[in-house]
Structure 1
Amino acid sequence: MLTEHAAVIGRQVAEAETALADLRAGRTGRLTIHYFATAGATLVAPALARFRQSTPGVRVDLTMTDPEDPLPEVTRGEADLAIVVRARDAHHEGVHLVHLLDDPYRAVLPKGHRLATRRVLDLADLADEPWVGSERPGPCLDVLLAGCAAAGFSPDVLVESEDYATAQGFVAAGLGVSLIPALGLANRNPGVVVRKVRGPEPVRAIHAAVRETSLGAPALSGMLTALRDATTR
């Protein structure tokens, strides 16, 4: 009887050791990722597809966080990784920011607008125009307003939308101009034209935020690699 029980216990110990080794090596486990909408299709979706091919045993839970800022959830351990917009030199205690890409803002004008014939606009060219808001309060709006301030004006926002597709609809109807980041223009309204801006060109820096204590975890490192690959593609 003891021999039979010992054999069962031996098998269970071996299985536990194998499961623990897989967990330590990042072949199994669970990752919780928070992201915002425009980063989803462009970055998170292809990165997740690549990650699942190489690490099918790790479960990934995704949560879209617009309009909340997911960084506090990373610091509290409620998320293993979050896609965030932060300045290049930003620092947050206990959090490591991995820069993924810079997403420049573009001028969005109604078709037939007097500036639509120009390929590149000075941001100050839009100073006297009515504006359609495209950002809710937060880091993205801060980038936009800082760019306008550097160009010497504050935008006269007549319509607030806080949604890129909706903002394009208002612009197409001739209610104003807008600044929308390039990632937010994947589905372009046929009634608008998009132009680069300069002097300055507002740019939002997109990062992956992880806890400093989690750096080096195999599954998390694998996901960061997949996100970097997605940005280069």
Structure 2
Amino acid sequence: MRQLDVGRLRLLAAIARHGSMTGAAAALAYTPSAISQQVRRLEAEIGHPVLERHARGVILTDAGKAIVAHIGSIDRQLEALNVELDDIAGLRAGSLRLGTFPTVASSLLPLAVNRLHERHPGVRLSVVSARLELLLENLERRRVEMALLWDYEWSRISQPGLDLRHLTEDPTAVVVSSSHPLAARGSVRMAELADESWVIRGGGHPVAEVLSRTAHAAGFEPAVSFEANDYQEAQAMVAVGMGIALAPRLALANLRDDVTVLSLGVDAPRRRILLASLAGRVSTPAEAAMAEILAAVARASAVRPSDRP
């Protein structure tokens, strides 16, 4: 495929408009010899003559006519491209594919999406919610440009090739029924819960490991009475007295009226909420805008550790 210089194509169109290389040279502030040199280079690129020279000027060959016929369309397309690039740079257009996980998708992310739509309505956003392993795979396979991730102190994300931005920390809390003897308290020590039955997330969910580690650190083995599929189901079982539960604070954004949340104080296990992208990528304007919005929403929604109970 020929590699054509658009500047030389435009120069030929100028020659056609002015009827001579001298006229084009005067209009474009070139010397006639410079114009002639560029025409020779163009002819070498395409392998055909583009002009027939005569005493009163020049005449376009068939190849020259074809070039002049197309250069107007090329210029219009380039102008449209420049407008679109300006729109992307100014966040009047563009797209973003974002990965997230359920507890953030039901708490922080809606606030960020609303803010992005309000500020940059022309940006097309698509979101995929998944478990951690699939989010990492989606990043690696470039199915998403950015992903919201999480990790705990004992299972830090160490995957090479990722840039990780720490947005906030999400402390673990205790969920009890509103009729539970501890419900009137704002906080509790884990050791006080040794005799309780526990509602956990089933299927090897990470919060089950959080419970196991936290209970063992407090000196007891938790007795599990129910394995739930999601946090809403866990809340429902807590509400009817099947047991109490641990949950990250962000998982409790949609809290039932018949359950109560108790703080574990400064000793609560805390997971990091992270924004990840592939290392070495240059962020698009849409990515940079969403990253700043997510950081601002995370700061505003941060849960501060309460005083030690």
Q: TM-score, normalised by structure 2?
A: 0.66
Aligned equivalents of 1:125, 1:10: Cα separation in 2: 75
Matches within 5 A, 1:1-16: 3=68, 5-16=70-81
1:180 paired residue among 242, 247, 250: 247
SS at match of 1:70: helix
Query: Matched residues in 2 for 1:13 and 1:50: separation?
Result: 32
Task: Specify which of 277, 284, 287 is matched with residue 210 of structure 1.
Answer: 277
> Who is 1:166 aligned against?
233
Identity of counterpart residues, as a percentage? 32
The equivalent residue for 1:36 is 101
The separation in 2 between residues aligned to 1:200 and 1:220, in whole angstroms, is 35
Distance in 2 (alpha carbons) for counterparts of 1:76 and 1:149: 39
Query: Tell me, what secondary structure is at the counterpart of 1:214?
Result: coil
Instruction: Provide structure 2 residue ranges, at least 5 long, that are not aligned to the other structure.
Output: 1-64, 301-309
Pairing partner for 1:93 from 149, 160, 175: 160
| 1:146 CA drift (Å) | 2.9
Distance 1:69 1:198, change over 3 A: farther
Aligned 8 A contact 1:27 1:219 in 2: no
The whole-number CA distance in structure 1 between the counterparts of 2:293 and 2:79 is 32
Are 2:51 and 1:51 aligned?
Answer: no
Retained in 1: the 8 A contact 2:201–2:207?
no
- State the distance in 2 between where 1:155 and 1:97 align: 34
Q: Is the 8 A contact 1:43 1:230 kept in 2?
A: yes
**Is contact 1:143–1:203 with CA below 8 Å preserved after alignment?**
no
Instruction: Give distance in 2, aligned partners of 1:144 and 1:69.
Output: 24
Give how far 1:27 is off. Answer: 5.0
How many Å separate the matches in 1 of 2:208 and 2:292?
29
* CA radius of gyration, larger in: 2
Deviation, 1:139, is 4.3
More helix by share: 2
- Which residue identity does 2:290 align to in structure 1? M
Give the total of aligned pairs: 233
Q: More relative contact order in 1 or in 2 (CA 8 Å, sep 6+)?
A: 1
Question: Alpha-carbon deviation of 1:140?
Answer: 4.3
Amino acid at match of 1:174: G
Task: Kindly report the root-mean-square deviation, in angstroms, between the aligned alpha carbons of the 2 structures.
Answer: 2.6
Query: 1:86 touches 1:139 (CA, 8 Å); kept in 2?
Result: no
Q: Which deviates more from structure 2 when the two are superposed, residues 104-113 or residues 81-90?
A: 81-90
| TM-score, scaled to structure 1 | 0.86
**Per the alignment, in what secondary structure is the counterpart of residue 280 of structure 2?**
helix
Structure with bigger strand share is 1
